[in-house]
Structure 1
Amino acid sequence: MSDRPVPTTPFRVAALQMVSTPERERNLADAERLIAQAAAEGAQLVLLPEYFCFMGHKDADKLTVREAYGDGPIQRFLADSARRHGIWVIGGTLPLAATDPSDAARVLNSTLVFDPSGAEQARYDKIHLFNFEKGAESFDEARTIRPGSDVRTFDAPFGRVGLSVCYDLRFPELYRRMGDCALIVVPSAFTYTTGRAHWEMLLRARAVENQCYVLAAAQGGSHENGRRTWGHSMLIDPWGEIVAVLDEGSGVVAGDIDRARIDEVRRSLPAWRHRVLA
């Protein structure tokens, strides 16, 4: 954890659930509406879903809206939203251009974090790339996404926040490497098939294992490109209890990060202190 003191009062956070389209500007307008709603309801940190800005008809369509790191309409939107509402904004994911010329046909699937002044505080490039084949469903993110390699966290007013994206959720070793987090975030676009089978149990497991809060913002519904995502954006507490959830459709899921709750769970069941293997 950071050496800075953490507040004892609860800190309001929100996951924004969307059903994104192939039109970037329409998605940004929807995201702005949800950010404004969450801020009006007292959220001090908001999390957008994976691909909040764009869900194309084909995997390669994301190349048409990729941005160079440091500038672009999506990055400006996130920074401006944080500044305008005076809140932390964790920007789901957006496609950033890979710097290696050999990756001209791939992007990085990146999460950017902006503080209430609009300054960028962290970047995470999705490490684990989804691959799934079942019947008519076929996904292979490695065709259009270059994987990241570094574990990333940042310090928020209530403690350390660990960054992960969607398929990362299936790899618990990633979360152990984050260290002592108060909150783990999981922006996602889980398929309906895999989400129905595993989404909730994996999220609750990560909360229980790490004895911290987990905030998951998902795509949730039937998209114009024919894809169906599972939704069920939620906030889970350190005991694995679901604080709030939204099954399907666009909306806001909100709740409090309570340091006293983290301390209570870790005091009664000190599994965090009992870890032996790194």
Structure 2
Amino acid sequence: MKAAVIQMVSQDDVLANLQRAAALLEQAALGGARLAVLPENFAAMGRKDAAAIGRAEAMGDGPILPWLKRTARDLRLWIVAGTLPLPPVGQPEAKAHACSLLIDEHGEVVARYDKLHLFDVDVTDNRGRYRESDDYAHGAQVVVAQTPIGK
């Protein structure tokens, strides 16, 4: 069984990021991968509207979740969707989590992990600090899921 780990330089243009990810996932599938892992923030790196993106996705109005499901189904590929902003299930107005989804080859979400340890740090660069907790809520549990290449 083959797995692919995708590296890409995402920007704040969601549709351009999805287009680039699609090309890389297609390459992985053509190379025989059964599972591909996208990087953290693959779809919306640098966006300041994580809450709005998460609400739109939770309400079925965003482009990311339908794209993930369709791409997994079309390529017959399991996809670990790096992280994307998503509120808790059934709570579209709640603070988003940095969420990683596991999508199976049929386009179904089979697991969800909400990042437990957010990146909060003070540094000596021109920004001075990075606080994921400003935009995201902490997850509550570790998730282990069965895939075609193992757990």
TM-score higher than 0.5: yes
Q: Distance in 1 between matches of 2:143 and 2:30?
A: 29
Aligned length: 145
Instruction: Report the Cα offset of residue 125 of structure 1.
Output: 0.5
Q: Distance in 1 between matches of 2:115 and 2:37?
A: 16
Q: Deviations over 1:104-131 (max 9, x none)?
A: xx31111111111111110110011111
Q: Distance in 1 between matches of 2:138 and 2:121?
A: 17
Q: Deviations over 1:178-210 (max 9, x none)?
A: xxxxxxxxxxxxxxxxxxxxxxxxxxxxxxxxx
Unpaired runs of at least 5, structure 1 = 1-10, 161-278
* Identity among equivalent pairs (%): 34
Asked if 1:52 corresponds to 2:42, the answer is yes
The aligned counterpart of 1:122 is: 111
Q: Distance in 2 between matches of 1:38 and 1:158?
A: 15
Q: Distance in 2 between matches of 1:134 and 1:87?
A: 39
Larger gyration radius, structure 1 or structure 2:
1
Partner letter of residue 64 of structure 1? Answer: A
Instruction: Report the Cα offset of residue 65 of structure 1.
Output: 1.9
Q: Deviations over 1:248-268 (max 9, x none)?
A: xxxxxxxxxxxxxxxxxxxxx
Q: Residue 28 of structure 1 is aligned with which of 11, 14, 18?
A: 18
Q: Is the 8 A contact 2:58 2:92 kept in 1?
A: no
Q: Secondary structure at the match of 2:145?
A: strand
Per the normalisation by structure 1, the TM-score is 0.49
The aligned counterpart of 1:154 is: 145
Q: Distance in 1 between matches of 2:83 and 2:53?
A: 12
Partner letter of residue 56 of structure 1? Answer: G
Q: Secondary structure at the match of 2:33?
A: coil
Q: Distance in 2 between matches of 1:134 and 1:159?
A: 38
RMSD: 1.8
Unpaired runs of at least 5, structure 2 = none
The aligned counterpart of 2:65 is: 75
Partner letter of residue 113 of structure 1? Answer: L
